[in-house]
A and B are shown apart, each in its own frame.
Chain A
């Protein structure tokens, strides 16, 4: 899905391209955000139904289990972009202050490696999706509650692609700051546009 920022050969408008990409990650992030609230509601409905009417809601544990993975992959790229993915920035902060060039280079390398790792995860996840799709894999019990597995596998794939692109964009920014006039780029790598 988010493969569309294809106009990379257009150096005049890097900005509009970036805005469009961040729109995609924002939408994905929002879906994940709303989803957590839905989980909050349905788990409480399940408890309430059980306690008050002796009638739990079918499939809530299964839905929660599937949803958590989906939410994480929906929000991964955005979390990365706003700089909230866990890392120790002790050395990087010091480098950014003392040797901004080396700092940007190192950070760019980290981001490139991140892109490679996410790409490997993406490629390896493809067959899992294909299998879930072809064989119509379900969770839950026959005749009770059943939910297909493939949407979550699809979201994993999409999330991996989105994170890969985000990593590449971050690396691109790092390397750009290397060559550009502004060598001193304070803060962590995520550009706050």
Chain B
């Protein structure tokens, strides 16, 4: 068997085992190990690879970003800032048709600028926005759909865990990736809002049940000063974290630490933090961090197996000889990512596909910051598509109202899948959207 065949078999085996429910990191490690063992015919070399990956692949200052940004997001989640932002956005957009939906998108966009994981957004806004929309006569399917759809902003607008992972895997500047995430995030939020407006005015029956009252003012109307007061803390935090990276004061790791400290102060100021709560948040942070960083270790082993097998070089020459252009290759790549998104979670897709595509796409001389954004948006579509859409699962499991089914969540999120794919096409065709803010 040739090395390339071994490599291909390993990849197929990995996909098979992951689908069969093996832990992703174990599947990646096992088959990469077996692959290297067969290619080199030497057990010692193969097992040494495991040890080196464990010792070296996450031993770097930059990996501090993972726990720190996760921690920041956790503090923000428990501090009730999601509710505050939603209240303010509600005051701004509440009067429009489908106004609560737009308020949810806007609040999510702001919230996303201080958290890096979509599940955090999905959980917070299921608690905050869905009951309010139901109270005002919005259809459940629409309500959960908006929350699920807009939760993807969490991993697109920086700080974003997926952008961090892409940066780590391809050695692209995480600061640049963060800067590049801002505009696509805004475009996507605008796209979601336009879609909601269209639904509200063209298909009002889909958005709200007939006969429900049209006023959207909640019981109490917030004063402008009150709204400002609620917005200032989060605005300061965003300015500190993103501004600090943008101005070059902080490395990404440092901005994570500053942001986490700021979020801690905020949570303390809102009296949302007890000792036991703090411990709970730290423990949770540890678990998320381990699940991600252990995956990075296994992705490192996998990457070396790919390199040894020569498979990427083989595909690369094949593509060069076939005369496929960048856009053809990119289209195939994006379709594959979208398909993987239906059965795999986003970090796993990133770990499997990026080490594979990176050497293939490199000869095209593309800007990897842009390519990272394209990859992340495509992967994020998978968060809200069935059968496996993590964001939809989180929304479903956070719902108090058990009469809303998982099917409702997926169906409700579907219009937003279409918007995401449109925005993805826009970002592909107009790289300026992502690159305009990158110095």
Interface residues of A (CB under 8 A from B): 29, 32-34, 36-37, 39-40, 43-44, 46-47, 61-62, 64-66, 68-69, 71-73, 75-76, 78-80, 82, 84-92, 106-107, 110, 113-114, 117, 120-121, 123-125, 127-128, 152-153, 156, 160
Contact = CB atoms under 8 A, between A and B. Distances in A.
A79 B26 contact: no
Contact of A36 (B33, B282, B344): B282
Given A39-B257, A64-B61, A33 B282 contact: yes
B398 to A, nearest CB: 17
Interface of B: 18-26, 29-30, 33, 47-48, 50-52, 54-55, 58-61, 63-64, 66-68, 71, 250, 253-254, 257-258, 260-261, 264, 279, 282-283, 285-295, 297, 343-345, 347-348, 387-388
B193 to A, nearest CB: 32
Contacts, number: 176
- Those 10 A-B pairs whose CB atoms lie nearest each other, nearest first: A124-B51, A43-B257, A92-B21, A124-B47, A84-B287, A79-B290, A61-B61, A125-B51, A68-B63, A110-B22
Contact of A91 (B20, B51, B257): B20
Contact of B64 (A68, A91, A125): A68
Nearest to B283: A33
Contact of A66 (B29, B59, B260, B283): B59
B348 to A, nearest CB: 6
A151 to B, nearest CB: 12
Nearest to A68: B63
A76 B290 contact: yes
Given A76-B294, A87-B24, A128-B51, A82 B287 contact: yes
B68 A40 contact: yes
B64 A110 contact: no
B40 to A, nearest CB: 14
A127 B44 CA distance: 12
A85 B290 contact: yes
B282 A88 contact: no
